[in-house]
Structure 1
């Protein structure tokens, strides 16, 4: 197949919008031109890429495969354009790091601030994603570096370095029956309702998997998008929560919370620094790796 980037952009728009008409508005083309581009792609591929129905369109399995690859190609091209424009404006370096929520709020603000202060000519783009999406971004080359909760056996050919250990704890209201316990197994708390991080986040996945292994279901009363949301809802007596210990301890003096340690092995999460190959990273990314590792050593 001979891929035309403009046709791929149009195809991505069609899949994401779910209709030819909506994609034509997004791409500023008439609907017939959009439809012709998609038909030409299907002809070149020798297979159907879209299911067409009265409510719009939906990607076929082949269309889904093309969409995933096309989306990555478009992101790569945008990164190239962004970096070249930065060089033309006098900026001498650029790196992109994908991180999970824990890394973003707990581990990176200070080190990133000191790195950029010491290296004002370098631009760092940080993108927050779920841990599995961080791994995918490194594998596909969208990002130079990743920092997330992962186990080495799930990383394939990616290289990794230990960065920290993230300890998860149970948080409960001060008048809860478990508030006087110093530690428990997670299964002991499963008769209660929980305030959970969003479905799909690594903490949510760990809690749900642990509940299933205990033969129970995690009873989620509320889903929130931040550690602060979990703390506030638990403090209001709306359920129990599971959070990294470092995200709770600083607030215990002012929040109506108690911390109970979890005895389960999964509560100790390794936080890993990821790259396709640390030795071949662009210079700005290597500089950032060195800075993060030195900052972590100083902190420990």
Structure 2
């Protein structure tokens, strides 16, 4: 068997994205080169690693075995880098961080900026996922650190720590009929036109799911990349209403003609938590990130003027 760490990372990226094209992009590799590496590994092993499907690829039984061992090998490499990083200046480490939409857009940018400035030899690979997927990724070793909503039951199997509180609210144009409500249930909004986040957004999938549970679906006029600010800008122009994080809604209301209406649904109030498989088992650089995030949460909770 002849393959290296680049091959192992490629296999993981293809498995995580379900696509050789996307896996190659995440590996900063040309598609032809990635395909050739996978073909060479399969020839060396004498078996296929991925089933080629009409839409993407999925690991075979042999592929799952390689993926499991690849994660273990790369985790050990990261631990080695972290441990040596205490003795050798300039040796880099990488933390695989998965987060839900609200934390990715509202809470993590400032927190990660401070961490990366203080740790110039550590990189962070941030991916946005639904909370349930994040828990599974942490449990099977596909991510080091996760930020999830506390409603995810299986997070109890992991070590978790408080991070932030997030409330989802409705934003409407200032003269919209629903903007006059003091609070509202999500199901009461579904007859209206919506502006939503781009396909693949964890929060947008969450809202689509709750709409489906009522036997309805969101009437989306537009899906936007760019986050909550872009969505609020469309609401300001009267294109539709939207559900966003309260912190984003209050920020945007300062410069846009918006109404902010709290949602009464229990799932709209979420406590975000940091989750890891084992804090003591993390590489040094990943443990440093968790400690940084926990310290910020503690300071915000104690401070009289919390930015959150």
The two structures have a TM-score, normalised by structure 1, of 0.75
- Taking the TM superposition and a 5 Å limit, the aligned residue runs for 1:180-199 are 180-199=180-199
Distance 1:185 1:91, change over 3 A: same
Give the corresponding residue for 1:26.
33
Which moved further from structure 2: 214-223 or 78-87?
78-87
Q: Which has the larger radius of gyration?
A: 1
Match of 1:272, SS state, is: strand
In structure 1, the partner of 2:42 is 38
Higher mean C-alpha displacement, 288-297 vs 164-173: 288-297
Give distance in 2, aligned partners of 1:224 and 1:67: 37
**Residue 233 of structure 1: aligned partner:** 234
Say which SS state the counterpart of residue 183 (structure 1) adopts.
Answer: coil
Moved more, 72-81 or 150-159: 72-81
Cα deviation, 1:34-81, whole Å, max 9, x if unaligned, reads: 7564244245xxxx555679x9x9556436635754764675477468
Q: Are the structure 2 counterparts of residues 35 and 112 from structure 1 closer, same or farther at C-alpha, using a change threshold of 3 Å? A: closer
| Counterpart Cα distance in 1 of 2:202 and 2:239 | 22
**Aligned residues between the structures:** 285
How much is the aligned-residue C-alpha RMSD, in angstroms? Answer: 4.0
Could you list the runs of 5+ residues in structure 2 that have no partner in the other structure?
Answer: 23-28
Q: How far 1:181 sits from its partner (Å)? A: 1.1
Which residue of 2 is the match for residue 151 of structure 1?
Answer: 151
- Match in the other structure for 1:292: 296
- Alpha-carbon shift at residue 214 of structure 1 (Å): 1.7
- Deviating above 6 A after TM superposition, structure 1's stretches of 4 or more consecutive aligned residues are none
After superposing the two structures, state which structure 1 stretch, 133-142 or 9-18, moved more.
9-18
Is the Cα–Cα contact under 8 Å of residues 78 and 93 in structure 2 kept in the other structure? no
- Decide whether aligned partners of structure 1 residues 71 and 258 sit closer, same or farther in structure 2, where only a CA change above 3 A counts: farther
Structure 1 position 89, deviation (Å)? 5.3
The equivalent residue for 2:224 is: 224
2:5–2:74 CA contact under 8 A, matched in 1: no
Aligned to 2:139: 139
Give a deviation string over 1:192-248, Cα, whole Å, max 9, x none: 121112334332133222212222112222112211121111112111100011111
Match of 2:103 in 1: 103
**SS of corresponding position for 2:240:** coil
User: How much does 1:152 deviate?
Assistant: 4.3
Give the corresponding residue for 1:9. 7
2:274 counterpart residue number = 273
Using the TM superposition, give the Cα deviation of residue 165 of structure 1 relative to its aligned residue in structure 2, in angstroms. Answer: 2.1
Change (3 A) 1:290 1:60: closer
TM-score normalised according to structure 2 size: 0.73
Shift of 1:116: 5.6
Deviation per CA, 1:148-185: give whole Å up to 9, x if none. Answer: 32424132521112322210001111121212111111
